[in-house]
Structure 1
Amino acid sequence: MIPIPVVVCVLGGWCAVYLADTLLKSSSSLKASYEDWLLTYGLSISPFHMRWQTALFNHQFYNWGRWKPRFLYLWFSMGMVFGIVAMFGSVILLGKTLMQTLTQMLTEAPKAQNDRMLQVVVPGVNLPVSQLTYFFSAILISGVIHEVGHGVAAIREQVRFNGFGIFIFIVYPGAFVDLFTTHLQLISPVQQLRIFCAGVWHNFVLGVASFMVLFLLPAILFPFYYTGVGALVTEVTEDSPANGPRGLFVGDIVTNLQDCPIYTVEDWNSCLGDISQKSQIGYCIKTATLQQLSFPARVYRRLDGTVECCSNNSLTDICFSYSNNLDSHLYACLPARKVIEASKVCRTNMDCQKDFVPSFCVTPSLENQTRLIRVKHPPHIDMLFVGHPMHLQYTVSLSSFVPRHNFLSIDLPVVIETFCKYLISLSGALAVINAVPCFALDGQWILNSFLEATLSSLIVEKQKRELVGFLILLSGSTLLAANVALGLWMVTAR
């Protein structure tokens, strides 16, 4: 569910703004001056919607629209082709997403929602509060680039440009351009397509550019940061199981999880995933050492069926299971650090017989899904973690970039990486959604112009072409609405 405080703050804020706007417009003494002030600054207020429009950037837009006409013609012609393909592709993508959502709803144990290509994002629900700055900044930049595409294309096609603006709808920021409608209606359908497709085209280009920056980031930051030596710890939450005297600290470089080498953050995530999916790994211990360290203990079963043989109050000892030639279910309560340090990992006793020294492969006897993980972060002593591997993933933040100098920020590469990922996701999503043949979106105008350009000779009567367009728009709108409604339900109600 959406957190109640968030709902209260949003509703309360908008109610206060709308109430103040209504009172000022109702006041006989303040109405005229207030409306003049709104008009002067290009502001308009309606329920859950506020926008600002200006002509300050018109000169810059006209400069862009008249720059290298031949290049812009080719540029927006490519955008037109992309927009038409995106219109059909978006319908296929939304259809596939809807089927995935319905499948998850009808399945008792649905897969993770990350499997869906398109997801509804609700701040504070499936978007961490710490990521809101990235989210809203990426939305605003994607919206501005989108509208710049429309504006420049319109000027290129000799359509009058009235102004540029920014709006806020509920909590989501966006941008818009004001074009002279009469000019739009007078130009040819192909010219209209260049204008209407320019927005999604620019979003696609922004996404590709962000991907290239993300891909080339190690090379771009090479003079200041190096990679491939491990994962640098940038944050450990206070409630993290890795927080403690022998835990992880900001600035540590993790090089291994068990026997899994760590060179980048991707390796860290991959190793944790493998550890959580595979059975607990064991450790080789000499027979003499096992006899020396073990002590008599009562063996009992936990509620989940696993075996415990150590006192619940012990913070250093762990119950290990092993087998010999006579008995395959032996247990010993052993000091974990002494067993693990300087030991090689194993799966069976055969893995420990290479040095011809009698040894056993002892495996921690832990609760289901719980793992004992040795984390190497030299030069510090190894951290021993007992718990679910995903707890490490969620409570420890890392970076693949290690500063070459102490004065460099360890957070800068993470900020750039995260922002690029948000730009790729949100700019791409804006391109897909706007290309859908749906009422009030770019897809509506792309479809209408496309039908005028392609069906004029086949369907002579304009009313019939409009009917075809209306039915397609109705279907596209229904498809998009179903995705949004079910996506919201999956996020907030489940």
Structure 2
Amino acid sequence: MHAFSIISLFWVFVHVVHRLWKPKAALLPTSNSVSRYRSWLERSTTVTVNIIQLKIQTTAFNSKHDKLAGKLKNWRSRRLRTWITAFYSMGVAAGICGLILGVGVLLWITCDFLLVRVLSSSKALSSHQKRDVAGIQYDAGNFIQPVIPGVTVPWTHLPVILIAVCFCQTVHELGHAVAGALYSVPILSSGLSLTLVIPSAFITFSTETMSSLNGLSRSKIIAAGPWHNLVLWILLVVLGRTAVLVERTTGIGTVLISLGWKDISKEGRVIVGLDDDSSLNTVLRVGSVITALDDISLADEEDRWSQYLNPELPMDVPWYGWCVSRELFQESSSECCQDEHPTLDHLCFESLGHGKGCLNPIPILSTSDPQYRCHRRGDCNDDAVCVQPDSSSSILRLSVQGHDLILWHGPRNEIWEQVLVARYAPRFWFIPTVRLLGDFWIYLQMTTLSLFVFNLLPLPFLDGSQLLSALMDHVKPISESSIDSESGIAQWSVAGLWKRRFERLVQFGTLGMITLYMFLRVWASV
């Protein structure tokens, strides 16, 4: 709800600013004192706002693209042109592999999901689970994992995701632009658009010039965008592996991190992310340092946070309790121990040798004085018993630096899902957290690889369908239509009709598989 309000206010702000900024037609000639920036903006850039779509289209970069095309056409740049041509020829090969791989994977996961759902109803199908980026789980039934803020990842990741998507799409369009300059195809405009919260970049080529090229040349321009995304992914993977190797041998990474971030692993773990819909929002904030969970100290280099909160990672926990009045415990009832939904007013406690009883947990668990803590019967006085919350009580204590003790009542793994922690805290307020930079690095790899595969699917308006058409023209050039001299009506040749029908068959077949797969996923999650 909070994120929805922010998005709504943003679009209201965009509409108001656009309406106020929109220039009005002047009745009299304008003065020459108009700023050069404003005149450049009005001459080369168009801003369009349509309900939830913001589109900025400009011709300011057309001349730069023309200069690049002229330089590549110059005889002095023959060697450079040869290398660039070879580079984008590799892009065509990668595009063909990506197209086949994308359709093949889509066909496999759709058939697999269909067989599992229809013919093997006993097989469990898991639904979406909220996790951080590093915790997304994969299996054969859930090969495609959509990244949806607020559903599969926290809302706090949305700005990082948008920056990664915008950067990868800019790299994608840059590939089309450079390959277009290689064959002197002028661009009409370029720009950015934002639909609700989804950013995108675009470049518009001259359709007439593109149509005049042969199939192979068009293939290089079309495949250049996905090819740039694949090259970027390879560079990110190699750079990441190299950074890990350099860090292990020299430790220079730790030195660089220490300049902007402080290692607080000897104190605990710092909160770097918190779900908007978490009930802990009222007592915790990003930047707080959690020092302990129950009696487990987080002041350790090991990831005790995940070990203790994740039930899949068992951990040996010592038994520590509290000394309470023997009379008070014996007079207490044990009815709450039978309740399936206990409350914090009366929580079930178990004792060493005195059964179970219902007590108010707040005054007991809030005590941190060592003289009231016990590990065995002899640790308490004769008029006291050693008690601890029953294992079915689902209560957990969070010790936060500089704050009172926080009592959590519920499954422990919910804290692990809703709160993201790290061992490094920024030294200054304007420095992002190390976890945020790590998330951006992961999202950058996921986004650029996804753009490579998704854009090569043979769907309408995507690079895959245009690449398929260009490749078919290269294998067997076809004059798709001719103009009848008498009627003036375009007539399709037989070969052109079959080519057009084949392209539509592939497009609608791919779209049908995607629709079927999404329907099965929704059906499985109900």
Q: Normalising by the residue count of structure 1, what TM-score does the alignment of the two structures yield? A: 0.67
1:478 aligns with 2:500: no
For each residue in 1:376-400, what CA deviation from the matched residue of structure 2 results, as whole angstroms up to 9, or x when unmatched?
7789998764432244335544233
Question: What is the alpha-carbon distance in structure 1 between the residues aligned to residue 40 and residue 459 of structure 2?
Answer: 35
Q: 1:41 to 1:186 in 2, by over 3 A?
A: closer
Q: Tell me the residue number matched to 2:484.
A: none
Instruction: Say whether the 8 Å CA contact 2:156–2:274 is kept in structure 1.
Output: no
Where does the alignment leave 5 or more consecutive residues of structure 1 unmatched? 31-35, 347-351, 354-359
Instruction: Say whether the 8 Å CA contact 2:65–2:186 is kept in structure 1.
Output: no
1:168 aligns with 2:194: yes
1:56 aligns with 2:57: no
Instruction: Say whether the 8 Å CA contact 1:3–1:125 is kept in structure 2.
Output: no
Q: 1:337 to 1:481 in 2, by over 3 A?
A: same
Instruction: Say whether the 8 Å CA contact 1:280–1:372 is kept in structure 2.
Output: no
Q: Helix, strand or coil for the counterpart of 2:332?
A: coil
Q: 1:120 to 1:402 in 2, by over 3 A?
A: closer
Q: Tell me the residue number matched to 2:161.
A: 135
Q: Helix, strand or coil for the counterpart of 1:283?
A: coil
Q: 1:149 to 1:108 in 2, by over 3 A?
A: same
Instruction: Say whether the 8 Å CA contact 1:52–1:167 is kept in structure 2.
Output: yes
Question: What is the alpha-carbon distance in structure 2 between the residues aligned to residue 159 and residue 260 of structure 1?
Answer: 64
Instruction: Say whether the 8 Å CA contact 2:188–2:204 is kept in structure 1.
Output: yes
Q: 1:159 to 1:343 in 2, by over 3 A?
A: farther
Instruction: Say whether the 8 Å CA contact 1:55–1:163 is kept in structure 2.
Output: yes
Q: 1:323 to 1:149 in 2, by over 3 A?
A: same
1:221 aligns with 2:273: no
Q: Tell me the residue number matched to 2:422.
A: 399
1:427: how far off? 2.8
Q: Tell me the residue number matched to 1:299.
A: 334
Q: Tell me the residue number matched to 1:201.
A: 227
Tell me which of 464, 468, 473 is aligned to 2:498.
Answer: 464
Q: Tell me the residue number matched to 2:215.
A: 189
Question: What is the alpha-carbon distance in structure 1 between the residues aligned to residue 4 and residue 273 of structure 2?
Answer: 29
Question: What is the alpha-carbon distance in structure 1 between the residues aligned to residue 367 and residue 290 of structure 2?
Answer: 23
For each residue in 1:286-331, what CA deviation from the matched residue of structure 2 results, as whole angstroms up to 9, or x when unmatched?
9x9997995442111456548x7xx9546xxx6333676xx9x656
1:134: how far off? 2.5
Question: What is the alpha-carbon distance in structure 2 between the residues aligned to residue 72 and residue 196 of structure 1?
Answer: 15
Q: Tell me the residue number matched to 2:445.
A: 424
1:151: how far off? 0.7
1:88 aligns with 2:100: yes
Instruction: Say whether the 8 Å CA contact 1:283–1:339 is kept in structure 2.
Output: no
Instruction: Say whether the 8 Å CA contact 2:350–2:388 is kept in structure 1.
Output: yes
1:363: how far off? 6.2
Q: Tell me the residue number matched to 1:440.
A: 461
1:449 aligns with 2:470: yes
The residue type paired with residue 319 of structure 1 is C
Q: Tell me the residue number matched to 1:233.
A: 271
1:69: how far off? 2.8
Tell me which of 157, 177, 186 is aligned to 1:151.
Answer: 177
Q: Report the identity percentage.
A: 18
Q: Helix, strand or coil for the counterpart of 1:411?
A: coil
Cα RMSD (Å): 5.7
Instruction: Say whether the 8 Å CA contact 2:168–2:448 is kept in structure 1.
Output: yes
1:72 aligns with 2:87: no
For each residue in 1:142-168, what CA deviation from the matched residue of structure 2 results, as whole angstroms up to 9, or x when unmatched?
221110011111212343344422233
Instruction: Say whether the 8 Å CA contact 2:456–2:463 is kept in structure 1.
Output: yes
The residue type paired with residue 53 of structure 1 is Q
The residue type paired with residue 458 of structure 2 is P
Q: Tell me the residue number matched to 1:365.
A: 390
For each residue in 1:157-184, what CA deviation from the matched residue of structure 2 results, as whole angstroms up to 9, or x when unmatched?
3433444222334543211112233333
Question: What is the alpha-carbon distance in structure 2 between the residues aligned to residue 121 and residue 231 of structure 1?
Answer: 26
The residue type paired with residue 260 of structure 2 is F
Question: What is the alpha-carbon distance in structure 1 between the residues aligned to residue 125 and residue 186 of structure 2?
Answer: 51
Question: What is the alpha-carbon distance in structure 1 between the residues aligned to residue 168 and residue 145 of structure 2?
Answer: 17
Tell me which of 289, 292, 295 is aligned to 1:252.
Answer: 289
Q: 1:292 to 1:176 in 2, by over 3 A?
A: same
Q: 1:205 to 1:2 in 2, by over 3 A?
A: farther
Question: What is the alpha-carbon distance in structure 2 between the residues aligned to residue 260 and residue 371 of structure 1?
Answer: 19
Question: What is the alpha-carbon distance in structure 1 between the residues aligned to residue 48 and residue 431 of structure 2?
Answer: 42
Tell me which of 321, 324, 341 is aligned to 2:350.
Answer: 321
Question: What is the alpha-carbon distance in structure 2 between the residues aligned to residue 283 and residue 104 of structure 1?
Answer: 45
Q: Helix, strand or coil for the counterpart of 1:155?
A: helix
Q: Tell me the residue number matched to 2:319.
A: 283
Question: What is the alpha-carbon distance in structure 1 between the residues aligned to residue 401 and residue 314 of structure 2?
Answer: 26
The residue type paired with residue 412 of structure 2 is P
For each residue in 1:9-65, what CA deviation from the matched residue of structure 2 results, as whole angstroms up to 9, or x when unmatched?
799899999999xxx9xx9x99xxxxx999844437585655433332235445666
Where does the alignment leave 5 or more consecutive residues of structure 2 unmatched? 29-38, 130-136, 248-252, 378-384, 479-493
For each residue in 1:86-106, what CA deviation from the matched residue of structure 2 results, as whole angstroms up to 9, or x when unmatched?
212222343455568777898
Question: What is the alpha-carbon distance in structure 2 between the residues aligned to residue 165 and residue 265 of structure 1?
Answer: 47
Instruction: Say whether the 8 Å CA contact 1:52–1:165 is kept in structure 2.
Output: yes
My pick for the range that moved more, 135-144 or 277-286, is: 277-286
1:412: how far off? 3.9
Q: Normalising by the residue count of structure 2, what TM-score does the alignment of the two structures yield? A: 0.64
Q: 1:380 to 1:136 in 2, by over 3 A?
A: closer
Tell me which of 109, 122, 126 is aligned to 1:111.
Answer: 126
The residue type paired with residue 147 of structure 1 is E
The residue type paired with residue 84 of structure 2 is L
Instruction: Say whether the 8 Å CA contact 2:260–2:428 is kept in structure 1.
Output: no
Which is bigger in relative contact order (C-alpha 8 A, separation at least 6)? Answer: 1
The residue type paired with residue 182 of structure 1 is E
Q: Helix, strand or coil for the counterpart of 1:113?
A: coil
Q: 1:174 to 1:472 in 2, by over 3 A?
A: same
Instruction: Say whether the 8 Å CA contact 2:337–2:358 is kept in structure 1.
Output: no
Question: What is the alpha-carbon distance in structure 2 between the residues aligned to residue 113 and residue 445 of structure 1?
Answer: 34
The residue type paired with residue 476 of structure 1 is T
Question: What is the alpha-carbon distance in structure 1 between the residues aligned to residue 257 and residue 273 of structure 2?
Answer: 21
